[in-house]
Amino acid sequence: MLGHPSAALWKIMKTHPASTSFANNLKQKAFIFNTASVIGALIHALFIVLFSYLEQPILAWFNVLSVFLWLSTLWSNKHHQHGLSAAIMCGEIIVHAFLATKLLGAEAGFQYYLWPMALLIVAVPVLPVVSSTILGILNMLAFGVFSVLFKVQLPELIPHYQALYIFNITFASIPFILIAAIARCLFENQFLKISQLAEHDELTQLFNRRFAQRMLQYYFSRQKFNTTPFCIALVDVDNFKQINDELGHDAGDEALVKIAQYLSNSLRESDICSRWGGEEFLFILPNTHIESIQKRLEDMCAKMPEAVQIPNWDAPISCSIGLVQAKQGESLEETFKRTDGLLYQAKNNGRHQVVSDHSKDSVKAKMSYC
Ligand SMILES: Nc1nc2c(ncn2[C@@H]2O[C@H](COP(=O)(O)OP(=O)(O)OP(=O)(O)O)[C@@H](O)[C@H]2O)c(=O)[nH]1
């Protein structure tokens, strides 16, 4: 069973390899790993020169091998074998840090490269979380052991050590910060994309019913402690079936998009305009009394036929609205039932109007050209 949302997403991506999320995911991983491969190969090429200068032939020759290993990860990245790339990089860094700290001592600072490696392997999801955490811990264990165990082996190199130490700390910390920044950007981007998909209606780009329901629950839960009034309006497009029947479903969709734009543009920024389903929309209007909002909705309703027009359709496109102000102590279901009842009245009264519970006897605010 897939309990966690990311597990569900992972399953979708695996079952539908052509999906955008899967392609984006591969692209992002390939970008991170290709960057790591190139930077890794360059730094190790630099180390060949450095170790030759320090007369450390074992380390110089090992770095020749390292350059090939890091370049070989470009091949595994190309074939989306990022787990293999991570294993090669991780293995190389551990052996390299071991050799360098053993031969030069921990003061040379080569063990610090284990930090960005640990971060890369844990932060970028190329291996299952347990394996990557174990590998990350292994890197950090190696860091601790090498730092404690290996003392300076070649005292004559001491004048170089400060420069070497600063060089290593710098080159180890740059990828560390970079990986953290990339991981954060990816997380934020993906979070935004997923929230956008989860909370918005695909056709109209308005908030969807799920989001509106959550917001309704939020405002109702707050109402117990807060006396700020808020209103709800249920908006239903009039005779929409005719548009679909006569012009086809695509023209109907086009009309819905235009209607949605018009409705949401007519509200304040703090109001929530959602697609409740089909040709029905729900407004949540916080911090507002019914007296002030009713006039605005009447205006919106009156101007709609002029504002919303689609090709080959001369009949006015209008809507009917049921509007209520939430009452203290009333449940969400009861309030919603009232709103639905007023919308029903608006339809029965001839459509293209706002009916609210503004006055005691449910004032009907009928538009001049109904
Ligand atoms: N094109 C399109 N049509 C939709 C969509 N969702 C619902 N509809 C159509 O909206 C129409 C709703 O019809 P009805 O419930 O009879 O309502 P109506 O014709 O608007 O009549 P009244 O509400 O009584 O004024 C149906 O034809 C649905 O197929 C959609 O996403 N796209």
Q: Is pLDDT larger for residue 187 or for residue 212?
A: 212
User: Does residue 7 surpass a pLDDT of 70?
Assistant: no
- The maximal CA–CA distance of the chain, rounded, in angstroms, is 98
- pLDDT, residue 154, reads 60
Q: Give the separation between CA 94 and CA 100, rounded to whole angstroms.
A: 10
Q: Is pLDDT larger for residue 104 or for residue 20?
A: 104
Q: Name the residue of 279, 304, 370 to mutate for ligand 1: max ligand atoms within 8 A of Cβ.
A: 279
Q: Give the separation between CA 259 and CA 308, rounded to whole angstroms.
A: 6
From 162, 50, 129, select the one nearest 96 (Cα to Cα): 50
Burial class (CB in 10 A: 0-12, 13-18, 19+), 20: exposed
Helix extents (H) in the chain: 5-15, 20-53, 57-78, 82-104, 114-123, 129-149, 158-199, 209-223, 240-247, 249-265, 290-307, 332-348
Contact 231, 325 (CB under 8 A): yes
- pLDDT, residue 152, reads 67
- pLDDT, residue 21, reads 55
- pLDDT, residue 277, reads 94
Q: What integer best gives the mean pLDDT of the chain?
A: 85
298: annotated active-site residue: no
**Which residue matches tokens 């909705």?**
297
The string of pLDDT tens digits covering residues 131-171 is: 888 888 999 999 989 988 887 666 566 667 777 888 888 88
- pLDDT, residue 308, reads 96
Q: Name the residue of 209, 236, 239, 240 to mutate for ligand 1: max ligand atoms within 8 A of Cβ.
A: 240
Q: β-pairing, 319-325 with 353-356?
A: parallel
Q: Is 201 near ligand 1, meaning CB less than 6 Å away?
A: no
- pLDDT, residue 169, reads 83
Mean pLDDT of 293-302: 95
- pLDDT, residue 26, reads 65
Residue nearest to atom 14 of ligand 1 (CA): 241
- pLDDT, residue 167, reads 81
Q: Is pLDDT larger for residue 227 or for residue 283?
A: 283
- pLDDT, residue 70, reads 96
User: Does residue 11 surpass a pLDDT of 60?
Assistant: no
Q: Give the separation between CA 350 and CA 320, rounded to whole angstroms.
A: 9
* 228 φ/ψ angles, rounded to the nearest 5 degrees: -60, 125
- pLDDT, residue 232, reads 96
User: Domains of the chain (ranges plus CATH)?
Assistant: 5-199 (no CATH), 209-366 (3.30.70.270)
User: Does residue 365 surpass a pLDDT of 60?
Assistant: no
Q: Is 260 near ligand 1, meaning CB less than 6 Å away?
A: no
Residue nearest to atom 1 of ligand 1 (CA): 252
The string of pLDDT tens digits covering residues 34-52 is: 988 999 999 999 999 999 9
Mean pLDDT of 341-349: 96
Tell me the β-bridge partners of 83. Answer: none
| ipTM of this predicted structure | 0.97
Residue nearest to atom 26 of ligand 1 (CA): 241
Annotated catalytic residue, options 92, 107, 279, 298: 279
- pLDDT, residue 329, reads 83
Mean pLDDT lowest among 137-151, 205-219, 352-366: 352-366
Q: Is 253 near ligand 1, meaning CB less than 6 Å away?
A: yes
pTM to 2 decimals?
A: 0.66
